[in-house]
């Protein structure tokens, strides 16, 4: 059987959607229309008011009362652990056909395993953006990204895009590495919970995604240091990302003014009760109440710990029609930009429901600035 990797046009070529498919068996390439032109990045000029708080009820909570909280996996032909404590790969389950009970069970299993990889999800991907919105809305209020591109008419669908000439990803160009660990838009008052992501076009090789368990990174630390971290809170900021966009490197669009919010350095999952480290190099700026040198020293140690703890990490190698779900509350991730010089495109879509305001692991922690 031949596996085909679809190649996307550049953003500038979005109206010219005649592309070459890249068969992996080295047969002569055939020209076909790119099937996901309608999902290429669009930068709308709309401006949105600030987000307002809402009450979030996690679907995984309902699954706790199910007689078999993993019943949605009964149809699976394979269920393989990516690592002993973190990550699961599944074949044989059609996510698009899950009923409400199955979706609740999925949310609970993602919370327990951190990240789940579902193969052979062409049905899910090809149902299109109206289905994506319905799917994501089941798990929380859909987040509209303040600066990123989205499909025309569907601002709730966040897109990533890179090829040889075009990229609007929020990256540090002068860094020695493309690895930037982060939890998506952690600067929001109510950051995302269960997130769904898939690639519509991908390079023949490369473009993998790294994930790390922030539950495990926390557990690796000494009990006395964890107790200290529970007393801390940190500022997460969207200002730098907004400035990056205003510079013209990300469409020049800022649809909602950037915000900063204070979150606990150690948060508690509302369903599993597990504690997780909640800082990331991309959006965490400082620890409240500490002097600058103290804050920088602690954050630098934690970032280095996250970066170097390969025993807490899993690497997802993308293949066509793969859908990955992760829980942003207890994980961090980074794309790997190792395909830049090939000229191939990486075009992906993210469905990002918001969850609760982070719950401090330390009861009564004051989250004011």
Name the E strands within 83-136.
88-91, 115-118
pLDDT score of 167: 62
d(CA 326, CA 117): 9
pLDDT score of 247: 80
Closest CA to 210 of 87, 358, 341: 87
DSSP string, 269-291: -TTT--EEE---TTTEEEETTS-
CB-neighbour burial class of residue 265 (10 A; exposed 0-12, middle 13-18, buried 19+): buried
Per the listing, tokens 């994506």 go with 132
Q: How would you label 158-184 residue by residue, b for 16+ Cβ within 10 Å and e otherwise?
A: bbbbbbeebbbbbbeeeeeeeebbbbb
3-state secondary structure 203-225: CCCCCCEEEEEHHHHHHCCCHHH
pLDDT score of 45: 85
CB-neighbour burial class of residue 206 (10 A; exposed 0-12, middle 13-18, buried 19+): middle
Nearby residues of 248 by Cβ (< 8 Å), 6 or more positions away: none
d(CA 259, CA 276): 23
Closest CA to 182 of 67, 272, 282: 282
Between CA 222 and CA 226, with CA 223 as vertex, the angle to 5 degrees is 90
Phi, psi of 243 (to 5 degrees): -65, -35
Q: Where are the domains of the chain?
A: 4-42+57-360
DSSP string, 170-204: ---TTSS-S---B-TTTTSSS-B-EEEEEEEE--S
d(CA 178, CA 283): 16
CB-neighbour burial class of residue 25 (10 A; exposed 0-12, middle 13-18, buried 19+): exposed
Tens-level pLDDT at each residue, the chain (369 residues)? 444 556 566 554 443 332 333 333 333 334 468 999 999 999 888 999 999 999 999 999 999 999 999 999 999 999 999 999 999 999 999 999 999 999 999 999 999 999 999 999 999 999 999 999 999 999 999 999 999 999 999 999 999 998 877 665 555 566 778 788 999 999 999 999 999 999 999 999 999 999 999 999 999 999 999 999 999 999 999 999 999 888 866 567 899 999 999 999 999 999 999 999 999 999 999 999 999 999 999 999 999 999 999 999 999 999 999 999 999 999 999 999 999 888 899 999 999 999 999 999 999 999 999
346-351/157-162 β-pairing:
antiparallel
d(CA 347, CA 369): 38
DSSP string, 307-354: HH-GGGEEEE---TT-EEEEETTTEEEEE----GGGT--EEEEEE-BB
Cα distance between the two ends of the chain: 58
pLDDT score of 177: 80
pTM, two decimals, is 0.91
The CATH number assigned to the domain with range 4-42+57-360 reads 3.60.130.10
DSSP string, 127-153: T-HHHHHHHHHTTSPBPPPSSS-B-TT
Max alpha carbon distance in the chain (Å)?
A: 64
Q: Do 142 and 352 form a contact (C-beta atoms < 8 A)? A: yes
């Amino acid at each position: 059987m031949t596996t085909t990797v679809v190649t996307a046009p550049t953003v500038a070529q979005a109206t010219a959607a005649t592309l070459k498919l890249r068969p992996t068996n080295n047969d002569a390439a055939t020209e076909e229309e790119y099937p996901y032109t309608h999902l290429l990045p669009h930068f709308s000029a709309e401006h949105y008011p600030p987000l307002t708080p809402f009450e979030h009820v996690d679907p995984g909570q309902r699954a706790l009362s199910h007689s078999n909280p993993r019943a949605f996996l009964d149809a699976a032909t394979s269920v393989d652990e990516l690592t002993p404590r973190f990550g699961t790969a599944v074949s044989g389950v059609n996510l698009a056909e899950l009923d409400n009970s199955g979706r609740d069970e999925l949310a609970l299993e993602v919370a327990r395993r951190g990240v789940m990889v579902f193969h052979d999800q062409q049905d899910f991907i090809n149902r299109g953006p109206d289905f994506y919105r319905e799917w994501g809305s089941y798990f929380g209020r859909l987040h509209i990204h303040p600066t990123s591109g989205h499909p025309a008419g569907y601002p709730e669908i966040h897109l990533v895009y890179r090829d040889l000439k075009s990229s609007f990803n929020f990256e540090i160009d002068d860094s020695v590495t493309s690895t930037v660990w982060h939890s998506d838009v952690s600067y929001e008052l109510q950051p995302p919970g269960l997130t769904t992501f898939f690639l519509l076009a991908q390079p023949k090789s490369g473009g993998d995604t790294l994930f790390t368990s922030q539950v495990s990174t926390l557990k690796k630390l000494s009990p006395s240091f964890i107790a200290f971290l529970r007393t801390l809170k940190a500022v997460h900021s969207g200002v730098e990302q907004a400035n990056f966009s205003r510079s013209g490197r990300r469409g020049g669009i800022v649809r909602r003014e950037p915000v900063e919010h204070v979150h606990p350095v150690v948060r508690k999952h509302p369903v599993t009760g597990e504690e997780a480290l909640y800082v990331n190099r991309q959006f965490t700026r400082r620890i409240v109440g500490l002097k600058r040198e103290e804050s920088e020293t602690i954050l630098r140690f934690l970032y280095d710990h996250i970066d170097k703890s390969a025993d807490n990490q899993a690497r997802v190698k993308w293949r066509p029609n793969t859908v990955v779900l992760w829980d942003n509350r207890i994980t961090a991730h980074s794309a790997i930009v190792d395909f830049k010089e090939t000229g191939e495109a990486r075009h992906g879509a993210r469905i990002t429901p918001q969850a609760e305001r982070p719950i401090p692991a330390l009861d009564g922690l004051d989250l004011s600035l």
